[in-house]
Amino acid sequence: MALHIFDPVQDSEIRTTTKLLKDLNGDAKLHFVQIDRLDPPKQQAIEYLNVERNQSPGTPLPYIPRRTYAYYYLNKKMPLYKALVNVSDNRVIANQETPEGTIGPLLPEDMSAVEEAIMKHPIVLEEIAKLKIDTLQYKHASLGNLGYTVVCEPWMYGTDSIHDKIPLIQAYMYMKLNHPEANHYSIPLRFSPVFEYLSHKFVRMDYLPSGADEKYIRDTLPYQQMDTVEYHPELIEGYTEREGLKPLIVSQPEGASFEVEGSKIKWQGWEFRVCTNAREGVAIYDVFFKGRSLFYRIANNEMTVPYMDPRAPYHRKQAFDLGDCGFGNCANSLALGCHCLGVIKYLDLTRCDQDGNPVLVPSTVCMHEQDYGLLYLHKNYRNGNTVTTRRREFVIQTIATVANYEYVMNYIFDQAGAITVQVRATGILSTMPNDEGVVTDFSTIVGPGVTAAFHQHLLSFRFDTRLDGDNNTVVYDDYVPMEENTPMNVYNIGARQERTFVENSGYIEQSPFTNRTYKVINENSINPVTKKPVGYKFEMPAKQMIMASKNSYNVKRALYATKQFWVSKYHENQLYAAGEFTNQSQGDTGLSKWADGTESVRNTDTVVWPTLALTHPPVTEQFPVMTSDFLQFLVTPASFFTRNPALDVPLANNNFNKSVYYDDAQKAAGLPTSKSSTCCSTGKSSI
Amino acid sequence: MALHIFDPVQDSEIRTTTKLLKDLNGDAKLHFVQIDRLDPPKQQAIEYLNVERNQSPGTPLPYIPRRTYAYYYLNKKMPLYKALVNVSDNRVIANQETPEGTIGPLLPEDMSAVEEAIMKHPIVLEEIAKLKIDTLQYKHASLGNLGYTVVCEPWMYGTDSIHDKIPLIQAYMYMKLNHPEANHYSIPLRFSPVFEYLSHKFVRMDYLPSGADEKYIRDTLPYQQMDTVEYHPELIEGYTEREGLKPLIVSQPEGASFEVEGSKIKWQGWEFRVCTNAREGVAIYDVFFKGRSLFYRIANNEMTVPYMDPRAPYHRKQAFDLGDCGFGNCANSLALGCHCLGVIKYLDLTRCDQDGNPVLVPSTVCMHEQDYGLLYLHKNYRNGNTVTTRRREFVIQTIATVANYEYVMNYIFDQAGAITVQVRATGILSTMPNDEGVVTDFSTIVGPGVTAAFHQHLLSFRFDTRLDGDNNTVVYDDYVPMEENTPMNVYNIGARQERTFVENSGYIEQSPFTNRTYKVINENSINPVTKKPVGYKFEMPAKQMIMASKNSYNVKRALYATKQFWVSKYHENQLYAAGEFTNQSQGDTGLSKWADGTESVRNTDTVVWPTLALTHPPVTEQFPVMTSDFLQFLVTPASFFTRNPALDVPLANNNFNKSVYYDDAQKAAGLPTSKSSTCCSTGKSSI
């Protein structure tokens, strides 16, 4: 099968890129940090898609060469280079130094390498020695005596100065029981070395505050043993597995309802392509429902996680997990029966390593169906006749581990034309040392000597809209009371919709108390029933956006996080809300530049950027591992179709669904049944 | 098994109530509208529960007589009577006239009876005759020629005057194809008779506006045929069932993980009682998790649905679906394989009929488990070790049909101590006639000649709190930036929690942009880790509350709907937010009186009342039947436990979950597999 223009980067394309760039750079040693496919120019892609959609046998598709981009350093030194390569024709299109101070993302191997270097460095070893942990033992009830070991957790350095122009790492140091499953986040240490991460040079040793303000800094002292808070069953003292959970098996005896052909998925009227990439993890292209175009491209494009602990050096804790690392680079390999149930289709991801070789990360995306209750239901009470349909969903899932945290990204498609974007935050809180008796109003104590600071998660999604065609418009609708005591509103109960058109690029303010609803409409496509333009709405929960001051680096670097819904006109290479390069960035080179109000976005090629925000003050239930917090928004038809597009979904019945009565099931399983089983509504005799 | 104090009303208890009240009233004919169990006085109930929880064999439980209440009319005339009966001891405790003008709820049979009377009344028949539908036929492609028939939909009259003191019905009239599955909401008629509903007396004929303002009223004319918008497969013209949906079977070969004993449920650390009733549909009592008390009683206690169409008589469209009718009275009998999947336990409901006889409504509540993705997950990237648990949920579901609309109430319990209250609104929009070419800003055209007005759904929930004991306190936490450029906030990124105690009964204003979080805490129970009181938080989405003017009857009757979160001190018989009697009520006799700021609610027996609101401007996709709209809020531990209470949940594995690869499944089902199947990550050979 020939490659599709959106298919993920191939091994051979990474190799071609590497070879061409090595050839170009002579004797220098190239240190790659990212090589991936670049989308084709949109206009060419649209022509390709239009031909493909109406293709008669034998019609050739337009030729579009496949392109890659590469970020790399020479001899592990600044500057960072960026190259574009035509891998179809073996040709370097462009290769240039990035502007002074531009720092690229890191590969997992870069992290491991600097971690290893830090753990070997004499100054760090000297600090570790002061802990005097060699002689300490922890007596574990079932595992016996366990020693301790030290763990290094390198963090993006962040920014607090215009002079931070070399690639740095702030290493947070932890101790843990000497066991592979031990939770090091339970014992944060009080020293934090800073290293250059390309050269592995020691820069300085920071000492961490552990009191109510940043003055409480002290030298490294011998470790005073405290109980650790463990998450693994092997290590939890007195662990007893919870009883009573019986298997719940999702079986699909006739196979899945979706069809997969390469990156193309078809399911219940939906058609789209699902393609992995290193930075975003996954992107969804060319989305149609019931034969009508909705979106050209959908992806989560950035997430920033600023911490609100004001004490240095914590003020620099602000990850940009996509720009600094990449959700694809950090993606988990998903496993059958763990990450989703039923009949599962997995997709792999290919990224590069530091030498420019392809690395296969298997099964970073899983796709499956799930049942989620009722789709619609109506009973005519006059005759008892009922229509009931069940809600089947198609889920695209990918999971990134970014050191302590896990992010579960779910794109959920329903049978009625709606998409739910659902993010689950799980994993482990990033923790800090805390002195006995210290209670602050910016962090939560989560265990002995350990605290977790308030922080935020701010995710940007990018929807390149294509509702019924290439020209779309963004509006927002408010719902407001009518003027009181007027002829039209005698009883003072009237309310109406007030529509505002977004004329120029920019953002829309939140307004939950007028039920403000963001909509993408097509002014050229009128719904014959409503007589108004067709549209889709974005139903976003009203949320606190980034809390830091506009004078802080946190905000300067992530202006996108100040607003919930942005609108820009489509331009090539405007993909990432905080800009292309976020690591130690001095400012936001993304949305705030592209959506600056200078361009008309009415009835044109429009892109919308929802920001999903969560203010996260930790609670004890979130340690030592946190139950998923849910964040989600809906993208749903708003008078796009002339009627419910799911009227053709088959009605529910038990021949198909094969559910059973509790009492019968318990009996079949040899269990005692409830005493009321004989008087239930099935009319069975009690004999 | 002896009856528990919270067990639903029994047939014999209804019969006893009826007999005692008939005896009391001599020759008068009693017309009952509600007989149900009354909760015991709380202090007695708490004593009972405390003994029960610590019961040693042989210890007797305190004796608490079971009580019922009854609403009835004598000889189908006002006033409404209310009685309390001790059904254990066959004794009428109280029996009295309600205050002048008090109108009781209706039974389904009352609705059917008035509907029948209206359809027989000469004045109504005369209007129907003017439609001249006898000679009309609709040529249906597959069903052949169908005639038309007229349908009456009685509505609660509402209120627009202090003189509305007799029980009235506003009948909205519709036409439909003469077929049992036809959608009458597609052809709203333009006349609307008003009847007294006890005496079935004609009051007057209203004519409906169908233009941009209420002046466009016209006489009934012969019906001009238009296409109807049908939801049933048999009637949809050109219907083709959607293809490709394969069975997805939830099987539980070892039975369910929950235990049922009478009304008592145990599941994964949870213990509570689930009891049906006529007004609320279902209430949940005595809720414990992992041996600790959380709530004494949880229920949805009211819902109002005001319409914002200002044109008379629509200004009176404001249902109080619990107070006027009862979610239990309107409950659907749920069916295996339709309303939920897996191993299902059903509960029945018993209500009274107008003669005071018990009526069994089977299976109004279904209880089952579902899988909903990941509970928590963490991967230690250094060694690849992962802990993964799946999220199993226990769902209590009931569904009410209130004429056009269906409300699906789900109480969802997870394995980590959280409750999700999820409401799905489905069914059919209440529609109005619309003249050709008329487009308004307060309604949406949903088909030929038919429009649906903007409206709101405002549900009140009542949580009688009992966190770690009987005395609780309500607080709200805001998250606010620290003052800039201070010694504590040098980098201008700091933020902190600001806690406010609710000292007196009242409400909390919404404040999403400070991430305001409502919490119930117990000041007498300090979390040993955080050193702060234990608590649970209510995570409510910020929403527009009732939009009507405070000078409108809509608001006067439903003051609870003006605020999202109310706090009151517990008192007997304060159960329903808009008051005990809502039908044609002149004002709110509920929360606004009980939470008027005059009582201390600090560290006492506290009740909280979340209001879940949805502003609903219809879209065409919601006709002729609407895909469920979701509304939900979370009740989740906020440093109530010392650590994640779900650490004992078994780790996920495929021996338990038995999922399969897409490619293997399609092959097993005899389907062609995707072309990439041989290069997937399982390492299978491609031969």
Phi/psi of residue A122, each to 5°? Answer: -55, -35
Q: Distance (Å) from the C-alpha of residue A23 to the closest C-alpha of chain B?
A: 32
A-B CB pairs within 8 A amount to: 630
Rounded Cα distance between B431 and B452, Å, is 5
pLDDT digits (tens, 9 = 90+) for A391-417: 999 999 999 999 999 999 999 999 999
Model confidence at A1, pLDDT cuts 50, 70, 90, reads low
Least confident among B598-607, B637-646, B678-687:
B678-687
Average of per-residue pLDDT across B50-62: 88
Query: Is residue B647 situated within a structural domain?
Result: no
User: Of the residues A81, A97, A113, which one is the last residue of a structural domain?
Assistant: A97
Average of per-residue pLDDT across B583-608: 97
Of B253, B648, B681, the CB nearest to A363: B681
- Between positions 30 and 89 of B, the ones with CB within 8 A of A are none
Model confidence at B685, pLDDT cuts 50, 70, 90, reads very low
Environment class of B656 (CB within 10 Å of its CB; exposed 0-12, middle 13-18, buried 19+): middle
Residues in B closer than 8 angstroms to A377, CB to CB, are: 332, 339, 399, 406, 408, 426-427, 628
Residues in B closer than 8 angstroms to A238, CB to CB, are: none
Please say whether the beta carbons of A417 and A645 come within 8 A.
yes
Greatest CA separation found in chain B? Answer: 90
Residues in A closer than 8 angstroms to B496, CB to CB, are: 308, 440-442, 454
Q: Distance (Å) from the C-alpha of residue A398 to the closest C-alpha of chain B?
A: 12
B625 touches chain A (CB under 8 A): yes
Residue A678 pLDDT > 80, yes or no? no
Please say whether the beta carbons of A106 and A330 come within 8 A.
no
Query: Is residue B499 situated within a structural domain?
Result: no
Closest to A76 (Cα-Cα) out of A106, A96, A100: A106
User: Of the residues A42, A65, A97, which one is the last residue of a structural domain?
Assistant: A97
Residue B107 pLDDT > 60, yes or no? yes
Rounded Cα distance between B414 and B394, Å, is 7
Residue B679 pLDDT > 70, yes or no? no
Q: Which of A405, A476, A507, A518 is catalytic?
A: A405
CB neighbour list of residue B572: distance below 8 Å, 6 or more residues apart: B41, B42
Tokens of B446: 């949903």
pLDDT digits (tens, 9 = 90+) for B217-245: 678 999 999 999 999 999 999 999 999 99
Q: In which residue are the tokens 């219907």 written?
A: B239
- CATH number assigned to the domain comprising residue A405: 2.70.98.20
* Contact (CB<8Å) A650/B242: yes
Closest to A260 (Cα-Cα) out of A396, A358, A427, A143: A396
Rounded Cα distance between B80 and B31, Å, is 10
Rounded Cα distance between A285 and A273, Å, is 5
Tokens of B83: 């009685």
B491 touches chain A (CB under 8 A): yes
pLDDT digits (tens, 9 = 90+) for B85-100: 999 999 999 999 999 9
Q: How many residues are given for chain A?
A: 687
* Contact (CB<8Å) B250/A249: yes
Query: Is residue A169 situated within a structural domain?
Result: no
**Would you state the pLDDT for residue A682?**
31
Query: Is residue B594 situated within a structural domain?
Result: yes
Rounded Cα distance between B677 and B672, Å, is 10
Measured CA to CA in angstroms, residue B588 lies from B304, B576, B584 at distances of: 12, 10, 11
pLDDT digits (tens, 9 = 90+) for B475-506: 999 999 999 999 999 999 999 999 999 999 99
- Both B182 and B120 in one domain: the answer is yes
pLDDT digits (tens, 9 = 90+) for B512-545: 999 999 999 999 999 999 999 999 999 999 999 9
Tokens of B93: 């405790």
Q: Which of A206, A321, A588, A663 is catalytic?
A: A321
Which one is predicted more confidently, A219 or B450? B450
Average of per-residue pLDDT across B185-210: 96
Residues β-bridged to residue A420? A412, A634
- Both B464 and B567 in one domain: the answer is yes
Query: Is residue A114 situated within a structural domain?
Result: no
User: Of the residues B73, B97, B121, which one is the last residue of a structural domain?
Assistant: B97
- Both B37 and B91 in one domain: the answer is yes
**Would you state the pLDDT for residue A224?**
94
Optimal mutation site among B360, B377, B443, B614, interface A, most CBs of chain A within 10 A: B377
Rounded Cα distance between B250 and A260, Å, is 24
Q: Distance (Å) from the C-alpha of residue A454 to the closest C-alpha of chain B?
A: 8
Q: Distance (Å) from the C-alpha of residue A238 to the closest C-alpha of chain B?
A: 11
B500 touches chain A (CB under 8 A): no
Which DSSP string do the residues of B221-280 spell out, in sequence order?
Answer: -PPPP------STTTSTT--PPP-----EEE-TT--S-EEETTEEEETTEEEEEEEETTT
Model confidence at A674, pLDDT cuts 50, 70, 90, reads low
Average of per-residue pLDDT across A26-54: 97
Of A403, A491, A624, the CB nearest to B644: A624
Domain count within chain A: 2
pLDDT digits (tens, 9 = 90+) for B306-321: 999 999 999 999 999 9
- By percentage, how much of chain A surpasses pLDDT 90? 92
Query: Is residue B340 situated within a structural domain?
Result: yes
Nearest CA in chain A to B113: A382
- CATH number assigned to the domain comprising residue A55: 3.10.450.40
Model confidence at A258, pLDDT cuts 50, 70, 90, reads very high
Of B244, B497, B675, the CB nearest to A262: B675
Rounded Cα distance between B607 and B565, Å, is 11
Here the ipTM equals: 0.96
**Would you state the pLDDT for residue B663?**
87
Domain that holds residue B298: 263-367+397-428+455-472+524-616+625-637
Closest to A417 (Cα-Cα) out of A317, A498, A579, A535: A535
Residues in A closer than 8 angstroms to B624, CB to CB, are: 643-644, 647
- Between positions 458 and 487 of B, the ones with CB within 8 A of A are 477, 479-482, 484, 487
Pairing mode of beta strands B660-661, A343-352: parallel
- By percentage, how much of chain B surpasses pLDDT 90? 92
**Would you state the pLDDT for residue B76?**
96
Average of per-residue pLDDT across A653-677: 82
B218 touches chain A (CB under 8 A): no
Query: Is residue B646 situated within a structural domain?
Result: no
Alpha-carbon Rg for chain A, nearest whole angstrom, is: 28
Query: Is residue A513 situated within a structural domain?
Result: yes
- Both B76 and B121 in one domain: the answer is no
**Would you state the pLDDT for residue A212?**
82
Of B254, B652, B662, the CB nearest to A256: B662
* Contact (CB<8Å) B640/A647: no
Residue A683 pLDDT > 70, yes or no? no
- Both B557 and B664 in one domain: the answer is no
* Contact (CB<8Å) A391/B674: no
* Contact (CB<8Å) A549/B484: yes
